[in-house]
Chains A and B, each alone.
Chain A
Amino acid sequence: MGRNDGVEGAEEIVEKGARVTRDPQTLGEELPASETPWQESLRLFKQDRLAVMGAAVLGVLLLTAIAGKALTEWVVVFDPEVVRLPEKFLPPFSVASTADVPVQDRPLSGIYLLGTDELGRDVFARMLQGSFVSLSIGFIAVGISVMIGITLGGLSGFYGNVKLGVMTVDTLIMRFTDVMLCFPTFFLILTVVALLPPSIYNIMIVIGLTSWMGTARFVRAEFLALRKQDFVVAATSIGAPERRVIFLHMVPNAIAPVLVSATIGVATAILTESALSFLGFGVQPPYATWGNILADGKGFIFDAPWLFFIPGLAILVVVLAFNLVGEGLREAMNPKLRRR
């Protein structure tokens, strides 16, 4: 493994060196106006139509999730928990009957936008609530995994040569990463989630704790390459404290692959949650997530197909959007694909 990392690291250096020498100031006036790497990435990202569409979907989703949190919990406009037994299994766009449902229980403007489920709950309200919960599972799980990944990867890349008794820090951390990579991730998540008391936080934490290995390896490889770069050596030699060198000079330069894997990680976390829900170990009621609405809906696939298809398609669209954006970012930030 170490051998491969070395090769990759060498390529990185060559690439970054090339970027420096091609800087407009050294090459003369014929080049377009100088842009920062981030501006360049943004420009390349905008050329990828699928990724831009994905980003738009994610923007809408973010608004929906915040609106969902606001409208179902802070100012209850859509109450996902009202049970209306006479109104169960109504298809989308049904009008709530005035006779069976008391006024305060009626949905907004008296229409069930996405129908009702087996307890007569408003699916639209549940989807709204679920959008926030599903998204926060994705973000918090990835937040945890990115934090662990950057810390361990950074430690191993920067302080890798420090001896701790018989082995170096690098050996210790990377062997631990190898051990974690050995476990079948989904089966491990399933085991731990099933043994722990059911709680939404446990699911977030367990997904986070079992998915940091990729990030740690990226960050380590980037740090190993960056440590020998001129600007880092320069920063160290003018006496900048290590803290400053790491967080101001190295982390921003190592963050691109982390960002990509984090975006895709959110997508994976949402899928993992829905798979756990399918097996009955997902987020427990009263929380609605897209995963458990879908898992509950599979029992009514013939009687009330909207209970199955609406959350399923919603998950598909959102996860697709995350994947496309992640892939767009990867292409836009990959120095090898630039300037072709």
Chain B
Amino acid sequence: MHTFILRNVLQRLLLVFIVSILAHSVIHLAPGEPSEVDPANPRMKPEDIAKIRAAFHLDDPLYAQYAYWIRDLVSGELKSFKDSQPVLGKIWRRFLNSLPLFICATLLVWTLAFPTGIQAAIHRGAVYDRTTTFAAYTLISVPGFFLSYMVILWVVDLFGVPVIGLKTFGMEHAHPLFQSMDRVWHLVIPSLMSALGGMAILSRYVRSQMLEVIGQDYVRTARAKGAEEATVIYRHALRNALLPFVTMFGFLLPGLIGGSVIFEQIFAWPGLGRLGYEAILARDFPVILTLNFIAAVLTLAGTLLSDVLYAVVDPRIRTGLQGDA
């Protein structure tokens, strides 16, 4: 087991290195530079541009730029091109904003998708199954911002739910309790909207996974020995159907950055996705690069976690490993 984890960690460290090189070259090889953001500005003289280029090492060869980036990233001194703020600090603050949204959305996805999917699998072909199937496909197929705009039109008038930003402007002097309630209230619609797509996809997975398991011999055996239907479904079938979902934890983490661009833009949520979007608009290479890199590292960490969890929960893999070692 230890060799298994060690080997996985080493493999992934190598991958992290390759990922960082790839991310760096993609961004620096593409045309478009920070010094070109505002070419129409008459106050930007050629010598200013040269100064900016020199300050950000843009004239150095690529491998030197890569070395500078890694050095600054590791020492924590990487500065944004846009406002010379430390990149890691910027990302950390935005991460703290994104986190509640991400947690709420994830909780919604996992708590709602499972019951929906399980019920659909049990009643395969019935009205409930067909309705949820169709609803799930509709949710997968609708452009996220189209649905969100429609929901905004509807909920703001009907319920007065806030749909912009983290908190109400001008509440700084209110009682902390009211402030925190205000923040929770602001979370409702954004987290619901960003959860819908994932909910649809996950409930389909749950359904097909349950269908697979329900047809197995051990489920038939459980029924034959006279176990109650609830026991059969939740103890014998569901437990085994759950296995693949362990791996899905790995793919949750990167959604923190990539999946949120659109929704944070719609709801003016100052999180990581919007930070990335603003950085792209400003050609702020250090921020873009570091975000891509962190996302990749999160993915790798997530897959590592899921591989280990898989080995922990699935005895077949665990015994296989002992055979290896």
Closest to A322 in B: B141
Q: A298–B27 contact, CB under 8 A?
A: no
- Chain B: residues with Cβ within 8 Å of the partner, total of 48
State whether the Cβ of A50 lies closer than 8 Å to any Cβ in chain B: yes
State whether the Cβ of B252 lies closer than 8 Å to any Cβ in chain A: no
- Most interface-central of B143, B276, B281 (chain A CB within 10 A): B143
Q: Type the 1/0 row for B201-241, where 1 means its CB is closer than 8 Å to any CB of A.
A: 00000000000100000000000000000000000000000
Closest to A337 in B: B211
Q: A182–B141 contact, CB under 8 A?
A: no
Q: A187–B149 contact, CB under 8 A?
A: no
Q: B299–A182 contact, CB under 8 A?
A: yes
Closest to A7 in B: B316
Q: Type the 1/0 row for A250-266, where 1 means its CB is closer than 8 Å to any CB of B.
A: 00000000000000000
Which positions 196-232 of chain A face chain B at CB distance < 8 Å?
196-197
B244 to chain A, nearest CB (A): 10
- Give chain A residues whose Cβ lies under 8 Å from the Cβ of B254: 182, 184
B21 to chain A, nearest CB (A): 9
A108 to chain B, nearest CB (A): 28
- Give chain A residues whose Cβ lies under 8 Å from the Cβ of B27: 191, 195
Closest to A185 in B: B258
With the chains together, A323 CA to B265 CA distance in Å? 26
With the chains together, A322 CA to B18 CA distance in Å? 35
Q: B276–A187 contact, CB under 8 A?
A: yes
Check A192/B262 contact, CB under 8 A, given A179-B15, A184-B254, A187-B257: no
B262 to chain A, nearest CB (A): 6
B269 to chain A, nearest CB (A): 14
> B258: which of A184, A195, A308, A336 is its contact (CB, 8 Å)?
A184
Q: Type the 1/0 row for A308-332, where 1 means its CB is closer than 8 Å to any CB of B.
A: 1000100110011011100100000
Q: Which of B51-59, B76-84, B288-296 lies at the interface?
A: B288-296
- Give chain A residues whose Cβ lies under 8 Å from the Cβ of B150: 312
With the chains together, A187 CA to B279 CA distance in Å? 11
Q: A181–B146 contact, CB under 8 A?
A: no
State whether the Cβ of B109 lies closer than 8 Å to any Cβ in chain A: no
Q: Type the 1/0 row for B1-39, where 1 means its CB is closer than 8 Å to any CB of A.
A: 000000000000001001100110011001110000000
Check A184/B257 contact, CB under 8 A, given A179-B15, A195-B31, A278-B145: yes
> A275: which of B15, B145, B212 is its contact (CB, 8 Å)?
B145
Q: B143–A294 contact, CB under 8 A?
A: yes
With the chains together, A157 CA to B34 CA distance in Å? 43
Q: Type the 1/0 row for A273-311, where 1 means its CB is closer than 8 Å to any CB of B.
A: 011001100000000000100100010010000001000
State whether the Cβ of B85 lies closer than 8 Å to any Cβ in chain A: no
With the chains together, A194 CA to B32 CA distance in Å? 9
State whether the Cβ of B101 lies closer than 8 Å to any Cβ in chain A: no
Q: A197–B259 contact, CB under 8 A?
A: no
Q: A183–B137 contact, CB under 8 A?
A: no
> A196: which of B32, B265, B277 is its contact (CB, 8 Å)?
B32
Check A316/B143 contact, CB under 8 A, given A278-B262, A308-B149, A327-B137: yes
- Chain A: residues with Cβ within 8 Å of the partner, total of 41
Which positions 157-172 of chain B face chain A at CB distance < 8 Å?
none
- Give chain A residues whose Cβ lies under 8 Å from the Cβ of B300: 182
Which positions 26-77 of chain A face chain B at CB distance < 8 Å?
50
- Give chain B residues whose Cβ lies under 8 Å from the Cβ of A185: 258
- Give chain B residues whose Cβ lies under 8 Å from the Cβ of A294: 143, 146
B12 to chain A, nearest CB (A): 9
Q: A179–B259 contact, CB under 8 A?
A: no
- Give chain B residues whose Cβ lies under 8 Å from the Cβ of A322: 141
State whether the Cβ of A333 lies closer than 8 Å to any Cβ in chain B: no
Check A275/B262 contact, CB under 8 A, given A179-B19, A191-B27, A195-B31: yes
> A182: which of B32, B149, B296 is its contact (CB, 8 Å)?
B296
Q: A274–B143 contact, CB under 8 A?
A: yes
State whether the Cβ of A93 lies closer than 8 Å to any Cβ in chain B: no
State whether the Cβ of A267 lies closer than 8 Å to any Cβ in chain B: yes
Q: Type the 1/0 row for B283-312, where 1 means its CB is closer than 8 Å to any CB of A.
A: 100001001100110011000000000000
Sample 30 A-B pairs with CB under 8 A, ordered by A number. Answer: A50-B133, A175-B15, A179-B19, A179-B296, A182-B300, A183-B295, A183-B299, A184-B255, A184-B257, A184-B259, A184-B296, A187-B291, A188-B26, A188-B258, A190-B276, A191-B276, A194-B280, A195-B27, A274-B143, A275-B143, A275-B262, A279-B265, A294-B143, A312-B150, A315-B142, A315-B143, A316-B141, A316-B142, A320-B141, A336-B212
Interface residues of B (CB under 8 A from A): 15, 18-19, 22-23, 26-27, 30-32, 133-134, 137-138, 140-146, 149-150, 153, 212, 254-255, 257-259, 261-262, 265, 273, 276-277, 280-281, 283, 288, 291-292, 295-296, 299-300, 317, 320
Interface residues of A (CB under 8 A from B): 3, 50, 175, 178-179, 181-188, 190-192, 194-197, 267, 271, 274-275, 278-279, 291, 294, 298, 301, 308, 312, 315-316, 319-320, 322-324, 327, 336
